[in-house]
């Protein structure tokens, strides 16, 4: 039996997929093989080999430096534009023009935008967003788990379908009787098993692909939100300091992402595959058809009620006021009595929404699903996203383009000693205040409690 399993098609297919991933990993390790086989002098004198053996971290650091240079140049360019003496025909100062100039924003982020900028490397060279290695490893592992899951689904479908047909054939060989008919009724046919696996697997694979694709856009959106101030940091006394408490917990993220994806896909497989199986299984098909008929009738009734409510809302109400008080009261009483009969639809709708939302967001550790008010004796149930955001903050504390530029200045001072002297710092302060006179005014206008301390 074991030899038949090993020689089977699906086991061999799994081996070939595993071999393909091994070849891909070997290609990624090619530069290390070159470094071991060739001398450093030969590599240093060859431009292509020098580029090939350049460590990945060095390349990313170079791209971050390019992004910091671009950001600084944009800041200086915008500041110079503020110093033109006229604005719409009026002579104004730079600080006045800063107040009068409309704020210009650019829409960034999204699924296609994030992946396109990642492939074109603009994500790092233009925006200075550092893609952490744990996210890359987690996404690669998720793809591997998904591919092996597809193979396992196909193998399990064929195996269980053949076992079901074999059992039905054995039952068919038994003498006629009520027990035989009952056994045939309980043992599903092979095509029922295959249809169940195909239907549930379709939704499970679709959900897994969506979860894999949205991790990068979600990460980019979080980083941009932290940089722009949309997501509060130091001024958020409740959440930000929770992220700073335990930065060592970032090692949870890779295993959490893998098992969360597996759990979400499995739940969707069980839900949708189980529903189809109950419809096709002779034992439960009559009950499921009755439930489906009830749901359809309830949906039609709710649809009619919704249309009547839209009509009555337009006729009897204006904003929060009633235009026709008596008719509005009769209408409210009728709708309330009607809702008592179709209230089960609200229960069913709420149950399905929460069930499918929970099944999907179980697979994501990058965003918070439960509100902060959902707690029991001070214990919040959704802690995985805190660890994920902590990792983003850790990388931002080291790889932000401006921090990268500032760190370069400190390193130059440590190396040369006289770089960035006290006199030079005063001149740079005067230059900054003259070029950006609105900075001090903005701090005074912000209305923060710690302005005096600053």
Give per-residue pLDDT as tens, 90-121.
777 777 777 777 777 778 888 999 999 988 88
Distance of CA 153 to the CA centre of its chain: 25
How far is the C-alpha of 18 from the C-alpha of 361, rounded, in Å? 29
**Would you state the pLDDT for residue 233?**
78
Rg (CA), the chain: 32
Report residue 156's pLDDT band, with 50, 70 and 90 as the boundaries. confident
| pLDDT higher than 60, residue 206 | yes
Question: Which tokens is 211 given?
Answer: 């979860």
Reported as a single tens digit per residue, the pLDDT across 182-191 is 888 888 888 9
**What's the confidence (pLDDT) of residue 308?**
87
Angle between helices 422-435 and 438-445 (to 10 degrees): 80
Q: Taking 60 as the threshold, does the pLDDT of residue 31 lie above it? A: yes
Average pLDDT over residues 154-172: 87
How many secondary structure helices (H) and strands (E) does the chain include?
A: 20, 6
At 441 the pLDDT is 55
Dihedral angle, C-alpha 89, 90, 94, 97, nearest 10 °: -80
pLDDT, position 440? 65
Share of the chain above pLDDT 70, in %: 95
**Mean pLDDT score across all residues of the chain:** 82
CA contacts within 13 A on the Cβ side of 146: 24
**What is the pTM assigned to this prediction?**
0.79
Q: What is the dihedral of CA 6, 10, 12, 14, to 10 degrees?
A: -110
**Confidence at residue 279, expressed as pLDDT on a 0 to 100 scale:** 92
Going by the DSSP 8-state scheme, the letter that residue 419 receives in this structure is T
Q: pLDDT for 391-407, tens place per residue? A: 888 888 888 888 888 88
The pLDDT value recorded for residue 90 is 76
- pLDDT given for residue 444 in this prediction: 44
- The lowest-confidence range among 82-91, 170-179, 365-374, 445-454 is 445-454
CA–CA dist 429, 426 (Å, integer): 5
Q: Which two structure tokens, joined as six digits, stand for 433? A: 């205040």
Residue 383: exposure state from Cβ atoms within 10 A (0-12, 13-18, ≥19): middle
pLDDT for 147 equals: 85
87: left (phi over 0), alpha (psi -120 to 50) or beta: beta
- Whether 314 shows a pLDDT value over 60: the answer reads yes
Name the more confident of 389 and 99: 389
pLDDT > 90: percent of the chain: 13
**Closest to 231 in 3D by CA, of 149, 343, 109:** 109
How far apart CA 235 and CA 426 sit, in angstroms, is 29
pLDDT: which is higher, 246 or 119:
119
Q: How far is CA 62 from the centre of its chain?
A: 27
* Site of tokens 């940091």: 233
* Per-residue model confidence as pLDDT tens digits over 277-307: 999 988 888 999 998 998 888 888 888 888 8
Q: Residue 69's pLDDT is what?
A: 87
pLDDT band at residue 268 using 50, 70 and 90 as cut-offs: very high
pLDDT in tens, 436-450: 777 665 544 444 544
Given a cut of 50, whether residue 453 has pLDDT beyond it is no
């Amino acid at each position: 039996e074991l030899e038949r399993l090993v020689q089977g098609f699906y086991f061999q297919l799994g081996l070939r997929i595993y071999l393909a991933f091994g070849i891909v990993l070997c290609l990624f390790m090619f530069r290390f093989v070159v470094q071991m086989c060739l001398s450093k002098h030969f590599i240093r004198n060859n431009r292509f080999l020098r580029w090939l053996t350049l460590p990945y971290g060095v390349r990313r650091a170079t791209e971050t430096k390019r992004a910091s240079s671009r950001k600084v140049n944009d800041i200086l360019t915008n500041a110079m534009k503020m110093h033109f003496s006229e604005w719409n025909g009026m002579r104004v100062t730079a600080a006045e023009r800063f107040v009068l100039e409309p704020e210009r924003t650019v829409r960034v982020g999204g699924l296609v935008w994030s992946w396109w900028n990642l492939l074109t490397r603009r994500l790092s060279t233009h925006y200075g967003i550092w893609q952490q290695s744990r996210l890359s490893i987690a996404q690669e592992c998720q793809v591997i788990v998904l591919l092996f899951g597809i193979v396992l689904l196909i193998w399990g479908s064929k195996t269980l379908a053949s076992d079901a047909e074999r059992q039905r054939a054995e039952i068919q060989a038994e003498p006629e009787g009520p027990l035989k008919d009952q056994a045939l009724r309980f043992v599903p046919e092979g095509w029922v098993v295959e249809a169940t696996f195909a239907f549930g697997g379709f939704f499970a694979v679709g959900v897994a692909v969506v979860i894999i694709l949205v991790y990068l856009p979600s990460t980019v959106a979080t980083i941009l939100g932290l940089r722009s101030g949309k997501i509060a940091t130091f001024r958020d006394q409740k959440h930000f300091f929770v992220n700073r408490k335990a930065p060592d917990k970032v090692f949870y993220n890779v295993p959490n992402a893998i098992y969360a994806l597996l759990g979400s896909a499995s739940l969707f497989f069980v839900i949708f595959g189980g529903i189809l199986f109950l419809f096709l299984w002779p034992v439960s098909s009559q009950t499921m058809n009755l439930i489906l008929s009830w749901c359809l009738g309830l949906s039609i009734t709710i649809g009619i009620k919704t249309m009547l409510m839209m009509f009555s809302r337009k006729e009897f109400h204006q904003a929060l006021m009633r235009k026709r008080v008596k008719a509005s009261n009769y209408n409210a009483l009728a709708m309330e009595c009607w809702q008592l009969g179709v209230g089960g639809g609200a229960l069913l709708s709420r149950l399905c929404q929460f069930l499918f939302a929970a099944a999907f967001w179980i697979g994501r550790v990058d965003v918070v699903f439960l509100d902060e008010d959902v707690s029991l004796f001070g214990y919040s149930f959704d802690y995985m996203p805190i660890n994920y955001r902590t990792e983003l903050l850790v990388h931002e504390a080291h790889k932000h383009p401006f921090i990268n530029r500032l760190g370069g200045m400190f390193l130059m001072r440590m190396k040369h000693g006289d770089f960035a002297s006290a006199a030079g710092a005063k001149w740079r302060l005067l230059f900054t205040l003259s070029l950006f006179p609105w900075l001090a005014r903005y701090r005074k206008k912000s209305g923060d409690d710690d302005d005096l301390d600053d």
